[in-house]
Structure 1
Amino acid sequence: MALFDTELFAQKLEQLAPTQQGIEGLSKWCMFFKSELKKVVATWDVQFQKAGPEKRLSFLYLANDMLQNGRKKAPELAAEFYRVLPRALKTMHKAGIAKDIARVKRLVHVWGERRVYSPNTIKQLQSLIPQEAAAPSSSAPPAKRAKTVDAPAAREAVMDKRLQPMATAFAKVSKAEVQSNKLLLALSPVCRKGLENDGSISELVKAQLPLKDYTGALENEVAGREAAIIALKEAVAIQEKGIKDAQSKLQLSKQHLQKVSTRLETMRKQHVQQFKAKQASSQPLVSAGPGGASAEAATNAGNG
């Protein structure tokens, strides 16, 4: 069997035409490398992040074709794509192109309808896609004048908004972990007989449903933790950029402070010198005469 060529696939992705023929052709080419699907998806992810907004939708259509054709031929493909889809959907969200986001929503909906992913996984993916804002009504009353917000409060609001995805992601992880642990506790007594070699059909049937629920809960937990890692990395990147900006401002501020301090010290010294010189020039000149008397006193005594 031919070996999968990462560079060749990257070139094919760059040249991918947004047509049904082009997408289906490349999908079949990818599915030819069933033993290398992990590399296929990893390359898809790298090139997706590099691609411009106009190309990313075609990448998702390619993933859709592969996922649907691989349901029976390569069921492991869904798990491989799920490792990278949350980041891809977040990238589409940031681009903010309304028509593309609507099409992405439709894709995720189709994956749910055709059971490409479990309902829990579909909910997780849907949570990464922004909700469309409602269009303003023509009969709506005129908007009120916006209140003036002071700059510090505005900056604090922006920071809170930046940290919100991370807080939301960790809250979902906590909820998913509680659910999976709850199902695990209920799993053992039910599935023990079903997992035994001599288990009856009824025991196997009883074991199947809780195992499915537990598996779905674990998938949801894994997806939540992956989303939390993405949110955490984004938060770290924001702080790293903030450090660089603050360090640059700090260096400039230190230079300004040094310049002002030096000028202030110089002016203070000049002021002291001028004050001393003025004080010295305002005092009368005196000289001591014989016996310690001043010349002025001696003159006055002679006149007397």
Structure 2
Amino acid sequence: MSEVVLYRKYRPEKFKDVRGQEHVVSVLEAAIKGGNIGHAYLFSGSRGTGKTTVARILAREIGCDEKDLYEMDAASNRGIDDIRELRDAVATLPFSSEYKVYIIDEVHMLTKEAFNALLKTLEEPPKHAVFVLATTEIEKLPETIVSRCEAHTFRKPSQEMLRDMIIDVAKSEGFTLDEPSADLVAILSEGSYRDAHGILQKVLTVSKGKKISAEDIEKVTGAPKGTLVNDFLSSLSNKDKKTVISKVDEVVKNNLDVKTFVTLVLHKLRAALLMRHAPEQKESFKEQFSKEDLKFLEELSKEEGITLDVLEKILRVYDEVPRSYIPQLPLEVALMELL
């Protein structure tokens, strides 16, 4: 396998290679084709969705070479002096391109004074300057900044998009993953292309063979085994309080991540309830689960103990776990309420 980090090796170089952001790419391509280049763009969305990647492609597509491309991390350069320095540099002409492009990542981290200084530049930018502001928290940006930018929202990739990308990358590296294994990586990456590449990198690095199984991924990532999740759900459907609590204890004793465990529980709960209320969805689940899991979920969907109330409470747990001093406590409380 290549020693180059997968996320960098497979980072899109052209608009046509960008996955899942067609609504952004199509607008940018049309603007470039029509010669309507904006002076400031705002790319917002969760981490690992391609904001910086698309910003770099935009810079290349408008003819900006490396000498005239500037990237700034606002998390590390957030003060007014940093923006004043940038503002002074913006006034100078490009070295060899028609445009100078400034990509400011994590722009929401700028101080109030820095935002005020940036605003003056955005209000009266030189013709050769193009700004691309990227943020994961657009709500923290002053409205005066947002209103002076062409805003684009980057969507989280669907599980199917991530799964297909994971399979493609693994194949390019000389490995094979079946769809349920790729789905597990997709779930664990939580909607981030970068995290999906990172997880896959770890799995491929330690793999002893060329065929990757779900067990290999569980071992490398520390994800709970599928059997543990299934046993938990069976005990929950049977209202077996003692056993279901013991399964949570098993997660903790094995030093498994509680949020990951809850994520996998939700994934299967959702599938079981959809099989009950929308049987036509079963076909799509054949790509997401192994034959054994699919059979288990079919049986689970018939159990009276699996209800929308259960799903809602576990969904609440997912939000509460990261904020809890004792990670498993929200799950234990929900189980005591349910049982």
TM-score category by the smaller chain? under 0.3
> Per chain length, whose mean CA-contact separation is higher, i.e. which structure has more relative contact order (CA < 8 Å, sep 6+)?
2
- Give me the TM-score of the superposition, normalised by structure 2: 0.22
Is the helix fraction higher in 1 or 2?
1
Q: Which has the larger radius of gyration?
A: 1
